[in-house]
Amino acid sequence: MKKWMKVMLACGILIGSASIPSWAGHLNAVHAAFAGTASQDQLAKDMALSLNRRDSSAQFTYAGSMAALKKDIKEAWNRIMNKDDYLHYIVKGYSYNATGDGDTAEINMRFTYWETLAETNEVKKRISQTLSRILKPGMNDHQKERAVHDWIVGHIAYDTSLVSHSAYDGLVKGKTVCQGYALITYEMMRQAGIPVKIVEGSSRGINHTWNLVQIGGKWYHVDTTWDDPTPDAAGRVVYNYYNLTDTQLRADHYWTTSAWYPPAVTAYDEVLTALAVKDSANAAFYKDLYEQAGYLYLTDARTAADLQSLTGKIRSAVTNRQQKLAIRYLKGATVVSDVRKAVEAQRGLSSYRYSYEDFSRTAADDKLIVIEFTYTAAKGKK
């Protein structure tokens, strides 16, 4: 999606707009370096005041040349959006016309929003109430982040009709699209005292938003939308997109690198392993998160590199009469045929069933396979 501005200059009248079409994601990013003029400074202050009041229209006096007005409006807008991610993603767009002569102009602007001021205030109130329930005294940022992530995934559903876009929709109606998920995540993390940003890009071929969070001085990607099963599965929480590095997330997400998005380069599994030793009082929490986030499948014991290795892992599970085997398979392109070959090479099974999904912790085409076994009854037993 691109932001555009249409401009017409005639007889001292300037008309323009920056409108953003409705879709299943978010607004267009406007993050950019900004060095404003005095005219831009005052215009940015005036526009920000109107936007924060959720004014539908406003009039401003501009002290500058008409030739510079278009540029000054755009850059003032960018400055406002850069300062407040929440405001950025609940504003739909603006239009304006201006009349002037010489070095002054009168600007009439109209604004559209995804949320009213009352709705935004309701979002903040509900989030404050929720955090008072789910955050416990003495929690560190790792524990707070997980509590926020789990609450969002457990209580918000993805709006497959692509109608609801705001945090208000998600909290009050129970459904929203990725834009709403990112806004809820942003506000909950912000109120919990965790530095957070909203990231704009694409995923799985569609425009998309998610978040960057700073935990322990390091930045990580968190995508609460893709961690929430669709269709909604009540109570199910997954961590496929929890605290990923840039490299890990680029397996199926795309965004334009910029100074606005700090690099995420720290492997979270290594952080959890170190914390389990350093912070022994919370070791059980770190170990559980390590397992739930799928880091166990990065170990040799939970990885099969090829058909031969997969067959061996399954043989060991069958020999020990395991009911279920979960394993990462490195040859994702042939997962269906290889699972069939590996299982059918075993004896003593009456049936089996399996499922698989992408393993997001690596950039390769790895699959996480879960196989359930039913065994043939031994002779003399029923």
Report pLDDT for 191.
98
Contact 17, 5 (CB under 8 A): yes
Tokens of 209: 């938003």
Query: pLDDT digits over 25-82, tens only?
Result: 333 334 333 344 457 788 899 999 999 999 999 998 888 778 888 888 999 999 999 9
Contact 149, 227 (CB under 8 A): yes
Query: pLDDT digits over 289-313, tens only?
Result: 999 999 999 999 999 999 999 999 9
Burial class (CB in 10 A: 0-12, 13-18, 19+), 334: middle
**The whole model's pTM is what?**
0.82
Query: pLDDT digits over 199-239, tens only?
Result: 999 998 899 999 999 999 999 999 999 999 776 666 678 89
Average pLDDT in the chain: 87
Q: Residue 356 and residue 155: Cα distance in Å, rounded?
A: 25
Burial class (CB in 10 A: 0-12, 13-18, 19+), 154: middle
**12 has pLDDT over 50:** no
Domain range 297-375, its CATH number among 3.30.110, 1.25.40, 1.10.3470, 2.40.160: 3.30.110
Contact 177, 24 (CB under 8 A): yes
Poorest-confidence range of 9-13, 171-175, 312-316? 9-13
Which residue is it, tokens 């990462």? 328
Q: Where are the domains of the chain?
A: 8-113, 117-285, 297-375
- Is the CATH number of domain 117-285 3.30.365.10? no
Residues in the chain: 382
Q: What is the CA radius of gyration of the chain?
A: 26
Averaged pLDDT for residues 111-120: 97
Same fold, 8-113 and 297-375: no
Indicate left, alpha or beta for 246 from its phi (over 0: left) and psi (-120 to 50: alpha): alpha
164 Cβ neighbours under 8 A, 6+ residues apart:
170, 173, 175, 176, 177, 180
Give the CATH class of 8-113: alpha beta
